Amino acid sequence: MKTLIGLISLVTGLATLLIFLFFFQRSGDLSLARTVAFTALGMDSLLYVFSTRTLGRPLWQEGIFQNRYLVLAVVIGFLLQVLALYTPIFQKILRTSPLGIFEWATVFAVGIGVIILIEAAKFVFVLKSKRR
């Protein structure tokens, strides 16, 4: 369990750093790079919570919409993230800038990639525990 938490933290941190560096080098825009990294970190947490909800079974066996409160919390979190990016007052407070399609696609691709890694790690841990 501790290993899985460490793996998730390491992958998430590394992915966020790489996203920041990629967008900063690509655009030279610090605000954009910071915003994409901030959004990736937020969306990553909102997405991988479904995968870590049950560690003994794969995500697709559990059902994503089983826990209505979790789904509601994720929707609210997503709306707050959008509010932070597209509302002028929050853009000023948080120093964010609006994201385009490419940036959003990158954010969701990284989030899905982290879920795939978590599911693979869960598979390995389940195999190890069955062998014992």
Number of domains present in the structure of the chain: 1
Query: 3-9 long-range CB contacts below 8 Å, 24 or more apart?
Result: 3/125, 4/52, 4/55, 4/118, 4/121, 4/122, 4/125, 7/117, 7/118, 7/121, 8/48, 8/52, 8/114, 8/118
Domain extent, residue 109, equals 2-131
Q: What is the pLDDT along the chain (132 residues), one digit of tens a residue?
A: 677 778 888 888 999 999 999 999 999 999 999 999 999 999 998 988 888 777 777 777 777 788 899 999 999 999 999 999 999 999 999 999 999 999 999 999 998 998 888 888 888 877 677 776
The pLDDT value recorded for residue 84 is: 94
